[in-house]
A and B are shown apart, each in its own frame.
Chain A
Amino acid sequence: MVEFKLPDVGEGMHEGEIVKVLVRTGESVQQDQPLLEVQTDKVNAELSAPVTGIIRDIFISEGETVEVGTTLLVIDAGTEAKKEETKLPEKVVNPDKTVNFAPARADHRRSLATPYVRQLAREMKLDIELVTGTGAAGRVTEEDLRQFANRLQKSVPAKFPTSATGNERLLEASTVEVETEPVVQPKTGTTTRATTSSQGDIERLPLKGIRKKIAEHMVKSVTIIPHVTSVDELEMDQLRALREKLKPYAEKRNIKLTFLPFFIKALVIALKEFPTLNASIDEHTNEILLKRFYHIGIATDTPEGLIVPVIKDADHKSIFQLAEEIDQLARLARKGKLTMEHITGGTFTVSNVGPIGGLQATPIINHPEVAIISLHKMEKRWVVREDEGVIRWMMNLSLSFDHRLIDGVTAVRFTNRIKELLEDPNLLFAEMV
């Protein structure tokens, strides 16, 4: 028997959410066959079987968060499940024989409880098999369930049902799917997912998965970093013209050319000149780490929430290469297929909310980075040029920076440089390595 535990799939992660269980008990698996999908610090990782064998027990359920080191399932190594009789009987034998009336599964260890108590356990999301019954002959009573739930709440809540039967595993899965649907009253009417207040119905959804990670990360960022945001505006006409000119070339190579690669190029140039913006602070050793590599995170909106895939060594890549990579990463992000590799190691982040709208913002720095830039909506505005009012394509950008490390003056100079590079994109070429 091989106990399969949740490994540390990402740097120093300590827990993960089980997103999908791909196998069932009794199923035979090959070595390296995917068993589960876990979601850790913003990525989905597929865990595969360490050995060939039969799945004997599955202790977790979909949607559950478990700590590194928790036993997820047990594999009976070396055996392979017997294949069932495959062919339909050609001779007259009685197939009824295979369909015995008797219970198909061993109910050997099934805990004793009435159907009502079982239903209640499901509603309370408790694995009844874990509850010690105090009723006659060890029956699990309603009171036993409540006591068990209380004890669980007092101990580690993350460990809630550490083991679950197949039913509950699926139960979890199905509730996840219908979470956003109108709330229906549970069968026994004893627990309820909705609270009615004087303001109307409130739907309670668990803060979990990626959303929970984002929440934790944001809290950390704002509590550690004193944020300052400065806003400026850029004139985009020349960049627009350049992009139009390059578009046909990009299309020929099947590349979707957006503004973002130009921004990244300009950013990288500016970051090289203002090294404190491509740095981080080691809070433990009180050191400033200046990074001589330029891994640019691009905040991407996905159905699951905001995810930041990282473009590694952006300074070594051409505009077209950047465009291609952005497209690829965004696609992976939306499918939830990013790996740990894709989302770690960033040194600076760009958030592009322009396509959606908005004038300015206070972007929150992606700790341990020290600055983040946010690009806003591009629009035609009246501006004054040589004492005359003219219409130009304008765009705001907001730069949040870590005031522990970066002064306002540096930040503004940094933005000025980006502005210079983008307002006259010929300069981009002049700086190109």
Chain B
Amino acid sequence: MVVGEVAVETDVVVIGGGPGGYAAAIRLGQLGKSVVLIEKEVLGGVCLNRGCIPSKALIHTAGEYHKLSSLTKLGIQLPTGKTTFHMPSWQTWKSSVVAQLNKGVDYLCQANGVTVVKGTATFLSSDRIGVETGGDFETYKFKQAIIATGSRPFIPSFLKTDGEYILDSTDMLALDDVPETLAIIGGGYIGMELGMAFAKLGSQVTVIEATERILPQTAAHLSSEVLKQAKQLGMTVKTATKVEKAEVANGRVTLACTSEKNGFESVIAHKTLVTIGRVPNTGELGLAQAGVEVDERGYIPVTSIGSTNRAHIYAIGDVTPGPALAHRATKQGIVAAEVIAGLPSSVDSPFVPYVIFTEPQIAGVGMTREEAELQGYKVKVAAFPYRANGRALAMDEGEGFAEVIVDQDSHLLLGMHVVGADASNLIGEGVLALELAARVEDVALTMHPHPTLSEVWLEAAEAVLGHAIHIVNKSKVAVNQ
């Protein structure tokens, strides 16, 4: 590799080694392109190092710990004495999980001929990129580039995070002990996921959300199941409440809040987590030098093949407008790579599933009832409760339901949503059904294994048709059917 003024030539430069960037780089390697993947920190991005994976490791741990208290009901006698949670040991375990995945990504990059460069990249022009690698500066000349620099937490100016008292999600996942009291600003999915996990581990959690309800991205009747559980876990949830100020004194954070209902109030906690959204990492990239445009909020608008206003420069993942989700980043990355290699790929599906690892989990794909009606559909909706599912009861997981939204005329599936145990895994069937343009009969007529949670889909589909077996159907089947 040449250093200095001489630019190293490559087909494609990928900036950012998150789930979008590394997937793109690997796919490009598979398709025979020369690829340089530039990452300033560690491969895997937010998702692997401080997002999806670490948070789910914590949530899993908190779930296991919390379950212990209900085991006696199942006849399991625990030794007397209080079970404790040792967070430093958890950190060690989490790090090993992350490290194993990092190694995997690194190995896959190598195996596919991807050159990984550690450093911070900036565009010098529309076909050259400079990389600062700890003292050195290298230049790369590319035919195509993929921007996959992801996003970072949005922190408003009056809430400066300090890593000790006022924390972002990254700081929170790096803690070495469980805070006695925890205030969370923002009741979105990250706030609720982490809030519930810490509540299960013993924190006194208060969630402060500016809008009318927690998880405003999901349908109200789904998020209300989570709210129920939050209360059972002893959490305080303040909705329609705004934080105006934060002050740190005597090892505590005091948040000044206002709401229409309660007027002024303050919330005091040992630590405060700020999760009110994320902003794209596009500011320092030298995009102007490359002629790449961003919108007012700093996102890079892209087409369905991921190309920016400069046809040879692509952008994927959290830097593009749309839900900031790892699987969307990966899909966009693969499509961009394939388009660059001349394949006719496209992100042409409106079906981006979501999963929320709260208690209970929520997952869904396609439209909610409200959205479908807004679009002018006449819909039929049916839900099947977990408590009528044998497996759910046998797992002591009776909370939640699966819901199917169907176009009344064609019986086409428009949306599938589930709140309850293992919702995140169950939604796989929903995504596939919607992608395959299935009708509700297709799900109803498919034999689902028993006893499993997957039967909730079968029964919800049958309920739409008026002949679910395990609940009383609201709409009775006509006699001749």
Residues of chain A at the chain B interface (Cβ within 8 Å): 24, 83-97, 99-108, 110, 112-115, 118-119, 122-123, 125, 136-139, 165-168, 170-171, 173-175, 177-179, 181-184, 186-187
Contact = CB atoms under 8 A, between A and B. Distances in A.
A97 B295 contact: no
Given A108-B375, A187-B343, 10 more contacts: A89-B156, A137-B411, A138-B410, A167-B303, A170-B303, A174-B311, A174-B340, A175-B342, A177-B312, A186-B343
A93 B352 CA distance: 24
Given A114-B436, A139-B437, A182-B32, A94 B323 contact: no
Main secondary structure of the interface of A (DSSP, over half): loop
B231 interface: no
Contacts of B323: 99-101
Contacts, number: 160
Contacts of B311: 173-174, 177
B217 A92 contact: no
B159 interface: yes
B190 to A, nearest CB: 8
List 3 A-B pairs, minimum CB-CB distance, nearest first: A95-B277, A103-B350, A122-B344
A258 to B, nearest CB: 32
Given A96-B188, A183-B342, A184-B32, A101 B277 contact: no
Contacts of A183: 342
Interface residues of B, number: 66
Interface of B: 31-32, 154, 156-157, 159, 185-189, 208-211, 216-218, 242-244, 276-279, 295-297, 303-305, 307, 311-312, 322-324, 338-346, 348-352, 354, 364, 366-368, 371, 375-376, 410-412, 435-437, 439
B297 A178 contact: no
B312 to A, nearest CB: 7
13 contacts: A84-B296, A85-B296, A90-B157, A91-B244, A94-B276, A95-B276, A99-B322, A112-B437, A114-B435, A118-B348, A171-B346, A177-B311, A178-B342
B296 A86 contact: yes
A251 B341 CA distance: 47
Contact of B209 (A94, A112, A138, A184): A94
B185 A92 contact: yes
A67 B297 CA distance: 41
A97 B216 CA distance: 6
A115 B339 contact: no
A104 to B, nearest CB: 6
B185 A115 contact: no
A123 B186 CA distance: 45
B242 A92 contact: yes
Contacts of A175: 342, 344
Contacts of B348: 118, 165, 167
A418 B295 CA distance: 62
B322 A93 contact: no
A179 B341 CA distance: 10
Given A184-B32, A187-B343, A91 B410 contact: no
